[in-house]
Structure 1
Amino acid sequence: MNDFFLYLRYISISLKSQMQYKLSFWLQLAGQFLLTVIEFFGIWALFTRFNNIGTWTLSEVALFYGMVNISFACADALGKGFESFTIIIKNGDFDRLLLRPRTTVIQLLGQELTLKRMGRLFQGVVVMGWSISTLHIPLTFKNLWLLGTSFISGVALFVGIVIIQATLTFWTIESLEIMNILTYGGVETAQYPLSIYTKWFQRFFTFFIPLGCVSYFPLLAVLEKADSFLVPLWFCYTSPVAGILFLMLALKLWQLGERYYCSTGS
């Protein structure tokens, strides 16, 4: 509980610092919102030209789009400390974090809650709300469970990816940009149903990076299409746990990286 209250204190300080320049904050928030609006406009233009992708309509794809953008926006806001970890390593600031009587994970998560990322979250909520309304999806306990677990597991998955990217910095010093294939590339992938991709690609984002488990399969059940794609309904309900397990694995790798950390001497 002490760590939890410390984290809240970190967040409070971060929010106060970002609100010192309110106009700059609101402009950045609007910029994030408009940028993602343009992204969805591209999807809308695609469906306007071809009407559908396989058996998928625009309103169905909008559900996937909204969910992954909401999850990623929250993860991106929470994981800023890990995202900029390469600067902390090169400046020798990580040595100072190690001297403090708290876990480095809490310190890095609390370094900054990037509120401007909420522009993407708001846009994702609007798109997903439009999809649910258009498809007349009832907000029953079953659907709320699927949507809720998909969101929580999606946040855990993307935070886990960022933590793994930061962990590799213990050995590489410079952040490996190739990891952006799994973060921003993963967002682009999950904006569409996994079934439209080739088989090896589906397997990669199901068994190696469980993006399909946290986004595609739960929403398949929400759309009542699990039977159409021969996916067991029980798997749609339980697959989001893969996101939590992925985060736990990422934290274990982080502990391993800390164990072999050698200061840069800055």
Structure 2
Amino acid sequence: MRIFWKYLILLFKAQMQYRMSFWLLTAGQFIIPFTVFAGLYFLFEHFGQIRGWDFYETALCFGIIHMAFAVSECLARGFDSFSTLVGGGDFDRLLVRPRSTVVQVLGSKFEFTRIGRMAQSVFVLLIAVQGAAVEWTALKIVVLLLMIASGVFIFTGIFMLAATMCFWTIQSIEVANIFTDGGREVAQYPLHIYERWVTRFFTFVIPFGCVNYLPLLYILDRNDGNDLLYAAAPLAGFAFIVPCLLVWRFGVRHYRSTGS
């Protein structure tokens, strides 16, 4: 972790060499997502509710998943741009270093301008928390934080799986965006508004439903079963990273240099 933080500090200093560019990009990351949130607001302004969910309850879904995506984009950007390391032969240099390739790839790139998107997500969450009819307890606050952290692990795991494919394809595969950008768009609404197969896929295969929908039922006192099971649902997101790491290790063992 000390190496990881050194990577973090060095890349932050490097990006701050062009401060005007940094702050303009950060401001853009803060403003642009508001167009999506504005669309959500006007949708509820017209229809009032979606299958029993009001604006503030859905805004909780929106804020949680966008916060998780922003944090993952900031810290796991190295996996998202991993194809450049493979294509340029730079991954060979990482292999001869006596440290984990996961840490080195994570530390190869950070997108600090995503702080703007994080700030926008915090703003939405504050609006949702104040407006939603929730009796907040210590456990519910912990569950809310776990939901965000779980989402970070899921998005990072998807970035890792997409990066692993580069060992065989060299270039990144755009289909991975279905599960990153597409997963974010799907999970910003309650999952039960979709077809059953979509709900099941994003609950049991890629567990976005365990990030916001199932634990959110507990927070809103809508769950039908055991409270602890719904509160513990975000743990599935942490478990999701385990098979992703195993797939990554499999890819590293079968890596053949591009010869660049």
TM-score band, normalised by the shorter chain? Answer: over 0.9
Amino acid at match of 2:134: I
- 1:157-185 Cα offsets, whole Å, 9 max, x none, are 10000000000111111111001010000
Matched residue of 1:100: which SS? Answer: coil
Task: Give the equivalent residue in structure 2 for 1:114.
Answer: 111
What RMSD in Å do the two structures reach over aligned CA positions?
1.1
Amino acid at match of 1:194: L
Preserved CA contact (<8 Å) 1:153 1:241: yes
Q: Structure 1 residue 235 and structure 2 residue 232: aligned? A: no
* TM-aligned CA deviation for residue 234 of structure 1: 2.5
| Percent of residue pairs bearing the same amino acid type | 43
Task: Give the equivalent residue in structure 1 for 2:240.
Answer: 246
Counterpart selection for 2:191 from 185, 194, 198: 194
Amino acid at match of 2:241: L
Task: Give the equivalent residue in structure 2 for 1:16.
Answer: 13
Aligned-partner Cα distance in 2 for 1:182–1:103: 26
Task: Give the equivalent residue in structure 1 for 2:2.
Answer: 5
Aligned-partner Cα distance in 2 for 1:226–1:102: 44
Task: Give the equivalent residue in structure 1 for 2:221.
Answer: 224
* TM-aligned CA deviation for residue 51 of structure 1: 1.2
Q: Which runs of 5+ in 2 are unaligned?
A: none
Task: Give the equivalent residue in structure 2 for 1:262.
Answer: 256
Task: Give the equivalent residue in structure 2 for 1:131.
Answer: 128
Q: Which runs of 5+ in 1 are unaligned?
A: none
Name the count of aligned residue pairs: 260
Amino acid at match of 1:132: V
Structure 2 counterparts to residues 146-161 of structure 1, below 5 A: 146-161=143-158
Task: Give the equivalent residue in structure 1 for 2:37.
Answer: 40
When normalised by structure 2's length, the TM-score is 0.97
* TM-aligned CA deviation for residue 136 of structure 1: 4.6
* TM-aligned CA deviation for residue 202 of structure 1: 0.5
* TM-aligned CA deviation for residue 137 of structure 1: 3.0
Preserved CA contact (<8 Å) 2:190 2:213: yes
Aligned-partner Cα distance in 1 for 2:134–2:67: 18
Counterpart selection for 2:142 from 140, 145, 158: 145
* TM-aligned CA deviation for residue 244 of structure 1: 1.0
Matched residue of 1:21: which SS? Answer: helix
Preserved CA contact (<8 Å) 2:217 2:223: yes
Matched residue of 1:120: which SS? Answer: helix
Preserved CA contact (<8 Å) 1:11 1:111: no
When normalised by structure 1's length, the TM-score is 0.95
Amino acid at match of 2:150: S
Task: Give the equivalent residue in structure 1 for 2:50.
Answer: 53
* TM-aligned CA deviation for residue 138 of structure 1: 4.1
Task: Give the equivalent residue in structure 2 for 1:180.
Answer: 177
Aligned-partner Cα distance in 2 for 1:20–1:56: 46
Task: Give the equivalent residue in structure 1 for 2:201.
Answer: 204
